[in-house]
Structure 1
Amino acid sequence: MRRCPPIGRAVAFGAAALLALPAAASAKDYAATALNVIPSGQWGGIGAPPAASDQARMYDGLTPLFDQVTTDDLAKYFKPQTFGTAGQCPCTVERVPRRGVRIVRDAQNVPHITARNRLDLDWAAGWVLAQDRSLLLAAGRYPARFAALDAPGIDAFGLVTSLKSVRVTEQADRIIDREQTAALKAAGAEGRAVLRDIDEYVKGINARLEYDRSAMEPFERVDVYAVNALAGQIFGQGGGDETRRSMLLDGLRRQLGADAGTRVWNDLAEQLDEDTPTTISKRFAYERVPARASGNAVVDNGSMTSSALRATATSATAHRDMSNFLILSGRRSTNGHPLFVAGPQIGYFYPGLTLEMDLRAPGIQARGAAMPGGAGNLLIGRGQDYAWSLTSAGSDTNDQFVETLCGGSQTKYLFKGRCRTMGSVNAGTISGQGAVKYRTTVHGPVLGWATVGGKRVAISFARSSRGKDALWQIAFKRLTEGTVTGVRSFYEAAATSPFTFNVGYADDRDIAMYSTGALPLRDPRVDPRLPTKGTGEYEWKGFLKPLDHPHVANPASGALINWNNKPAAGFGSSDAQWSDGATQRVTMLRAGIDKREKHDLASVTAAMNAAATQDLRVQGPLLDGIHALIAGTPAPSARAQRLYDLLRGWRAAGSSRLDRDGDGLMEAGAAPLIMDTLYPRLADAVLTPVLGADLNAQLATLEGTTNSTRSGFTGGRINYVDKDLRTLTGTRFRSPFATRFCGNGDRAACRASVWRAIDESGAAIAQLRGSEDPAQWTSDANAERIRFSPGLLSTTIRYTNRPSGIQQVISFDGHRKIRR
């Protein structure tokens, strides 16, 4: 077994010139404006220096400006993302033991790397990674193996952030190495080039570890493969929750009858809701639901073993979805060129999950955020004349298969007419948790066991990108090396990603988006929302062709706006994504952009910044439905009326949860506290008349109890509550529910239950605060302050829901001659 050693002290060293590298001619920079901020900063060791918080403070400084951001503010709260160090010093030149590499650190500790060729650049990127993220590497390299293997029930990222000690086996490494290396070799010359990059990158990591006299074992290819898989598990997969969803269907049928239960389940699934906001208006058909689905099994409600429930919950909810981009075309811009404000929201950590690099070698000039495992490539960034960014798409890359067991055995299953014996993997051990061992079928790891129609079955997990995680680097290699020269080559690069992301792009005249991922084509007899029968008759039929993926360039609207919402009309949501309804936070971004026809970078940034502190439950359409239902009707108490009036007033003021003056209290007074207390009661009041308490609680385990800052204003059943209330009060939808939930469709009964929820919320707050007067209540901003996990950086910042891995603010006014 291999063990993650104790995390050692980060070692700093003096900067001096070891070699005289002839400066490569700087490539022309076509950016008129290029700025960024990474709140976690560039430092990453234990004992963070005071300067480690510099970018966090810049990031925090923008938040209280809300929608009043000026051009001067951009220069104040973002830093340059230009090539080279001009205007970013004092700088130091680092000592490196390799000819052909020069590393200069600027005032923010950002490394500006010049190399004589691509392999030297790979080595230098590995050296910098080990220097700036040695703590993260020590904590993450072995837990990441569990992500590559899809070890059931293991939250690999949680192991990293909790600094858990992990041992992995040679068997685990052999599996990962065999699959990933084979995938890269099968990708031809480009895949083999990525392998060379990885090998040089590993040499750079190990050179730095040796320099620091680190106790860590030398890195290998498998470490890089595993870290890529970890990133994919967190951000780049979707689906794989069919079993838990099918148990809800079974419960609904048992409680309401087969037909009524199915109708309710179809409403809740919202697999293809025509009312949901999409980034692309053109239709891209994917994942149609067949009229007759003979290829599915419905799992008996409550029959999954507890370990299987944990495993399926982990596999279905590992991704994060908080990223956004706002990209405007030249016709919507005051400077006549596209505007690009974009970044991934990957949480707040120190050491950060990303780190910045400025990379220069012959034919290469790029700057942006790199990730551990990036092999000399940038995850998010810019080239000479274009920029790119990602948001998690959550499209349906994962499936669960129901395996028919043979002859009463728990480890033999039927596939294509014969019984097979499950495989066995011993992946390692986790300190305090024990061994990580599991069974496998032809579809993947066995999550656990359940029953279908009372008969014992096994549930296995298929992920389309398993064993191919390293292929993700091909797209970033093209983007980093500048072989992307226009929209067409951007599409071609993005299409190589096995992980599912929405990728935004802009250059000096074009804007574009492409939604990526190895998206399975399912048997036409399979309902993608339910588990697939694993007998071999209903296997995947290949993958969606590149041109069938949602993509667009220069839309008529002049805007590409995405906040992890559905990429395109007609595109089916994954079985794990039941929040693609009429209420989505992207509408708050759109509202900011819709305020004017033409924008500059400051006003686009202002739209992003305002939405980052707004409360969707109040700013969105939900409050319209509540108002239409109860306005002008008698409240059960004067206090209930006062609470409702405060919510309406908060909306009129912009519904922000800001604490501008830093006194620990939100300027909105009691209103945020009121909505936080009310919303779970409201959701229960609307849904319980049809679902009953038990099934409503079961739905809440899937979709969340509340829609709030804790969920980034996603999930929490808000789409059901909103659409049902607005339907009851006269709003017509293109995809109406077949079910009336609140009051079982009786308006008076619904009104009474909503007023009751408001009144009960007031009573709960009064008891908590010891005052009946809402004017005396306050909303605690300190409770929502952002803290950098796992606690090594003491700095905290105001709550905001905006990109954290990097935020780029860019516009180009020129382009290389080649364009494709």
Structure 2
Amino acid sequence: MLTLFRWLVRLSVVLIAGAVLVVGLVWYFSIRSLPDYNADYTVAGLAAPVEIVRSTENVPHIFGSNDADLFLALGLAHAQDRLFQMTVLRRAADGRLSELYGARAYAADDLARRLGLARRAKESLAAQDDYTRAALTAYAEGVNQWIQIVNREARGRGAPEFFLYPEDIAYWQAADSLAILKLLASGSTAALRNEVLRARLSLALPRRGPQVVSQAGEADLPDYASLFPGGRLAAPGTAPAPEDDWFNWRAGFVAPAAERPASGAVFAADAARTAAGGALLADAIDTGLTAPSLFYLARLELASGGVIGATIPGVPVVLSGRSATLAWGIAPAQIDDQDVLVEEVQPGDSERYRDLDGWRAFDTRREVIRVRGDDDQVLTLRESVNGPIIPAGHLGLAGVLPAGHVAALSWTGLSTTDTTMSALMGLMRAPDRAAAGKALQGIVAPAVEVSLADAGGVTRQLAGARPVRSESHATHGRMPAPGWIAANRWQGVLPPEAPQDVAGQIVAATGETGAAPGPDAPRAARLQALLSSREVHSRDSFIDAQLDIISPVARALLPLVGAELWFADEPAPSGTPERLRQDALGLLAEWDGSMSEHLPEPLIYAAWMAELQRRLIRDELGPVADEVTQLHPGFIDRVFRNTGGAGAWCDVIQSAPVETCAMIARQALDAALQDLSTRFGPAVASWRWGAVHEARHVHPALGRAPGLGFIVNLRQPVSGGDATMAASPPLGRGPQRWSAVTGAGYRGVYDMADPDSSVFVTSTGQSGHPLSRHYDDLSALWRRGEYITMSLDPDLARAAAEGVTHLRPQDGAAGN
């Protein structure tokens, strides 16, 4: 027995020592990939020495003697801090995620290949101007130089995530940056998904179904089934494939896989409306909350002058920021830039489809998708004159396609002569608003609203390709339409808009560009009210507006929905459902609409409205109602005002009595309160919005891995909601439906009266390395509504430098 005990002790010691050794090796190789910011490197491609000065917050300030060298250094800096993020973004655009993640990413790759983002990006390279092509080439060389340094010095493969995947790190190409830009364009629109949803709602409830997601002022839509007389359509309950399509994978990098697109808010005031006598501009860009953030702060000292602001790893431009003389901010323009056109396949010949004047062959090509741990898959990709063919298995298309038909996608982002990168390069180098406005005319996709501010004033401009539709289009581009009818096809694109000078005014944009109010209309109205509330503004008042957490939707809906419920009953005994309702209504009656994480009212309001919308539509739409995951306040408003007879939604069609809207409102409130009391106890005043409304910054690769997710993901309670200026809309589905998965990935406020007092911040930190202190050091500031200074003063950058990286040309190059 003693001998057995000794052997067990020895075995335990060996196992413990082995575990310690493994942990030690993992730790050693992980920290090997942390970059040394004080190193000197000799790199190919440089014409002269370059300095990368890292501020306290790890913001690189890049100084050199020519622009090509600066872009090379930016590529190296991006790769130092975000190499894994860059490669995953590139794979997402290329349709090569399956090589890392296996079969679960196959559907994403399938759709990415059919869209052909990488192929179209390569074709667009020739359309860029000479400066942009040179910049992209230099940037790619900088990324590749860092990959070579990592390999040469055995620096842990450049990021610890690479140890989990056997694939080699491919060298960067100039077209890769263009492909990522097209990926970003796909995140700026939800038009395709919403077209399919409207069609499914129409099939579930002809005439009335699309009312749920339509906005006031939009033209009535036809019954979807009437567009295909005699066509056999799937049952309306046919649901999209769960969590496996391109848009869900895209959510990990760019935007939410939901009914609404990426958004943002940019607003500006010229010198006449500011206390300091200089223009002000504020910009918040909403994206999926990832760890690390999509954005990376950087400063470049170009030949045209210094620029500083938000970049995206893989894309060598400052998307939002300032120079010494100009500030610019962008918000995705919520235009309808996608159309689904249904093509009729020739009976007996799946390679042909109906065109305007007869049958025509699809353009066909084949590609191979490598799937980790599985067989390679050969794809046959088809295109019609209306765009690439999207298989019925994606995005719920199976539920809206008649038998013998396929779906083609028309989208401005599919352009093969896309000059958006050149336009952004021109914007970054523009000395004033006039030059910037001229550069912006080259933007194709994504369409954006841009505000510009300089010493002369403020300009607002809509930039990007906007399709022209015929007035006789069957669905006005809001539902799929027959592709063989000429009136349903695009009639071209509108010419670029001229800049609008807004002297003496304050301009605001949240992406609302259409004649009918869109999903961000309440947010836009709140912003306009905040900006109009005072005659002059300061940097601090702009910050306050950017961080505002008052919900205009809550202020508008609660008096309407609860009109017959406030103080309608005698006080009820404690512990009863009636008392619970009275306590909740008592709190809401005194609430100002502040979506503070520390209050119970936002939680009560959000749960009530979600349950109310579900009860209004579930009995009539059936399973399709599960796909309406976001709150549609315009629909609830029309129902409770009985606009156009919309009050009929309150009646439950399966029951004999006729329910009123007040009855449904009370039942929805009771059901919501019962659920909340089960989770948080009966003391309504002790509930907190922040208990369920957490910002979830999820690592796209490791965030769902057991154990690793605890290390790489960031979770923090946040204020705000889907209609507040500090936007943090809840997911809207699943057990974590109140979690915020989108928000302002970047915030900046630019003060042209004192440019170096301008401020910015991202939602996580500069580094993508989980063991770096800069992985999450900005997230606490972001949550508290704080910022860091964005100065172009080189002495200030060097004085507070965390490190200075020196890049030197190889022997024989200029400058040695």
Equivalent in the alignment of 1:473: 421
Q: Structure 2 residue aligned with 1:752, among 639, 663, 666?
A: 663
Equivalent in the alignment of 1:539: 489
Deviation per CA, 1:575-616, whole angstroms, max 9, x where unpaired? xx7x36xx62334434433443322111221122232xx455
The answer to whether 1:813 aligns with 2:723 is no
Tell me whether 350-359 or 635-644 shows the greater mean CA deviation: 635-644
C-alpha separation in 2, matches of 1:225 and 1:784: 35
C-alpha separation in 2, matches of 1:684 and 1:251: 15
* Cα contact 1:397–1:517 (8 A) shared by 2: no
**Normalising by structure 2, what TM-score?**
0.70
C-alpha separation in 2, matches of 1:681 and 1:748: 16
Equivalent in the alignment of 2:171: 218
Tell me whether 349-358 or 649-658 shows the greater mean CA deviation: 649-658
Compute the displacement of 1:209 (Å): 0.9
* Cα contact 1:114–1:360 (8 A) shared by 2: yes
* Amino acid in structure 1 at the alignment position of 2:141: K
Equivalent in the alignment of 1:202: 140
Deviation per CA, 1:594-652, whole angstroms, max 9, x where unpaired? 443322111221122232xx45553x300121243434534896654664564564564
Within 5 A, what are the aligned runs for 1:86-165?
99-146=48-95
Equivalent in the alignment of 2:340: 400
* Cα contact 2:282–2:748 (8 A) shared by 1: yes
Within 5 A, what are the aligned runs for 1:288-307?
297=228, 300=233, 302=235
The answer to whether 1:621 aligns with 2:556 is yes
Compute the displacement of 1:323 (Å): 2.1
Gaps of at least 5 residues in structure 1 are 1-5, 20-93, 148-155, 254-260, 275-287, 660-665, 705-714, 729-735, 816-820
* Cα contact 1:643–1:674 (8 A) shared by 2: no
Equivalent in the alignment of 2:325: 385
Q: Per the alignment, do residues 291 and 109 of structure 1 end up closer, same or farther by CA in structure 2, a change over 3 Å counting? A: closer
Equivalent in the alignment of 2:791: none
Secondary structure at the counterpart of residue 390 of structure 1: strand
Equivalent in the alignment of 2:300: 359
Secondary structure at the counterpart of residue 211 of structure 1: helix
The answer to whether 1:346 aligns with 2:261 is no
* Cα contact 1:239–1:394 (8 A) shared by 2: no
Q: Per the alignment, do residues 355 and 159 of structure 1 end up closer, same or farther by CA in structure 2, a change over 3 Å counting? A: farther
Within 5 A, what are the aligned runs for 1:192-341?
192-213=130-151, 214=157, 215-235=168-188, 238-239=191-192, 241-253=194-206, 261=207, 264-265=208-209, 267-270=211-214, 273=217, 297=228, 300=233, 302=235, 317=258, 320-341=261-282
Q: Per the alignment, do residues 14 and 807 of structure 1 end up closer, same or farther by CA in structure 2, a change over 3 Å counting? A: closer
Q: Structure 1 residue aligned with 2:38, among 15, 25, 28?
A: 15
Q: Per the alignment, do residues 294 and 748 of structure 1 end up closer, same or farther by CA in structure 2, a change over 3 Å counting? A: closer
Q: Structure 1 residue aligned with 2:614, among 656, 662, 684?
A: 684
Q: Per the alignment, do residues 584 and 780 of structure 1 end up closer, same or farther by CA in structure 2, a change over 3 Å counting? A: closer
Secondary structure at the counterpart of residue 546 of structure 2: helix
Within 5 A, what are the aligned runs for 1:51-70?
none
* Cα contact 1:520–1:544 (8 A) shared by 2: yes
Q: Per the alignment, do residues 16 and 673 of structure 1 end up closer, same or farther by CA in structure 2, a change over 3 Å counting? A: closer
Secondary structure at the counterpart of residue 498 of structure 1: coil
Deviation per CA, 1:132-165, whole angstroms, max 9, x where unpaired? 2112123332222139xxxxxxxx7999999979
Equivalent in the alignment of 1:774: 684
* Cα contact 2:285–2:744 (8 A) shared by 1: yes
The answer to whether 1:764 aligns with 2:675 is yes
**Normalising by structure 1, what TM-score?**
0.69
Equivalent in the alignment of 1:799: 718
Q: Per the alignment, do residues 511 and 447 of structure 1 end up closer, same or farther by CA in structure 2, a change over 3 Å counting? A: farther
The answer to whether 1:441 aligns with 2:383 is yes
* Amino acid in structure 2 at the alignment position of 1:539: R
* Amino acid in structure 2 at the alignment position of 1:540: W
* Amino acid in structure 2 at the alignment position of 1:445: I
Deviation per CA, 1:728-783, whole angstroms, max 9, x where unpaired? 4xxxxxxx545334545999822122122223333333444454x534x4226244
* Cα contact 1:343–1:806 (8 A) shared by 2: yes
Secondary structure at the counterpart of residue 127 of structure 1: helix
C-alpha separation in 1, matches of 2:59 and 2:332: 26
Deviation per CA, 1:243-271, whole angstroms, max 9, x where unpaired? 34223213322xxxxxxx2xx24644535
Equivalent in the alignment of 1:698: 624
Q: Structure 1 residue aligned with 2:697, among 779, 788, 801?
A: 788
Compute the displacement of 1:125 (Å): 1.5
Q: Structure 1 residue aligned with 2:565, among 610, 615, 630?
A: 630
Measured on the aligned residues, the alpha-carbon RMSD in Å equals 4.3
C-alpha separation in 2, matches of 1:671 and 1:623: 11
* Amino acid in structure 2 at the alignment position of 1:393: A
Equivalent in the alignment of 1:502: 449
Q: Per the alignment, do residues 163 and 482 of structure 1 end up closer, same or farther by CA in structure 2, a change over 3 Å counting? A: farther
Compute the displacement of 1:487 (Å): 4.8
The answer to whether 1:464 aligns with 2:373 is no
C-alpha separation in 1, matches of 2:87 and 2:57: 24
C-alpha separation in 1, matches of 2:271 and 2:695: 36
C-alpha separation in 2, matches of 1:408 and 1:305: 26
Compute the displacement of 1:513 (Å): 2.4
Within 5 A, what are the aligned runs for 1:519-558?
519-526=466-473, 527=475, 528-535=477-484, 537=486, 538-547=488-497, 552-554=500-502, 558=505
Secondary structure at the counterpart of residue 133 of structure 1: helix
* Amino acid in structure 2 at the alignment position of 1:695: L
C-alpha separation in 2, matches of 1:645 and 1:561: 39
C-alpha separation in 1, matches of 2:592 and 2:44: 52
C-alpha separation in 2, matches of 1:158 and 1:738: 53
Q: Structure 2 residue aligned with 1:368, among 303, 309, 312?
A: 309
* Cα contact 1:125–1:201 (8 A) shared by 2: yes
Deviation per CA, 1:214-260, whole angstroms, max 9, x where unpaired? 4512112342232222211223564454234223213322xxxxxxx
Q: Per the alignment, do residues 494 and 344 of structure 1 end up closer, same or farther by CA in structure 2, a change over 3 Å counting? A: farther
Tell me whether 390-399 or 628-637 shows the greater mean CA deviation: 628-637
Compute the displacement of 1:560 (Å): 2.3
C-alpha separation in 2, matches of 1:297 and 1:543: 27
Equivalent in the alignment of 2:634: 719
Q: Per the alignment, do residues 623 and 117 of structure 1 end up closer, same or farther by CA in structure 2, a change over 3 Å counting? A: same
Compute the displacement of 1:394 (Å): 2.9
Deviation per CA, 1:508-542, whole angstroms, max 9, x where unpaired? 34223223332211233212112122226343211
* Amino acid in structure 2 at the alignment position of 1:788: H
Q: Per the alignment, do residues 671 and 271 of structure 1 end up closer, same or farther by CA in structure 2, a change over 3 Å counting? A: closer
Compute the displacement of 1:99 (Å): 2.1
Compute the displacement of 1:338 (Å): 2.6
Deviation per CA, 1:107-150, whole angstroms, max 9, x where unpaired? 22211112222222221111111112112123332222139xxx
Compute the displacement of 1:491 (Å): 5.7
Tell me whether 325-334 or 647-656 shows the greater mean CA deviation: 647-656
Q: How many positions carry a matched residue from both structures?
A: 652
C-alpha separation in 2, matches of 1:231 and 1:159: 21
Secondary structure at the counterpart of residue 182 of structure 1: helix
* Amino acid in structure 2 at the alignment position of 1:328: A
* Amino acid in structure 1 at the alignment position of 2:312: M
Equivalent in the alignment of 1:47: none
Deviation per CA, 1:458-495, whole angstroms, max 9, x where unpaired? 12222221144862212210121125x12574265155
C-alpha separation in 1, matches of 2:65 and 2:102: 37
Tell me whether 112-121 or 305-314 shows the greater mean CA deviation: 305-314
Q: Per the alignment, do residues 12 and 545 of structure 1 end up closer, same or farther by CA in structure 2, a change over 3 Å counting? A: same
C-alpha separation in 1, matches of 2:689 and 2:210: 39
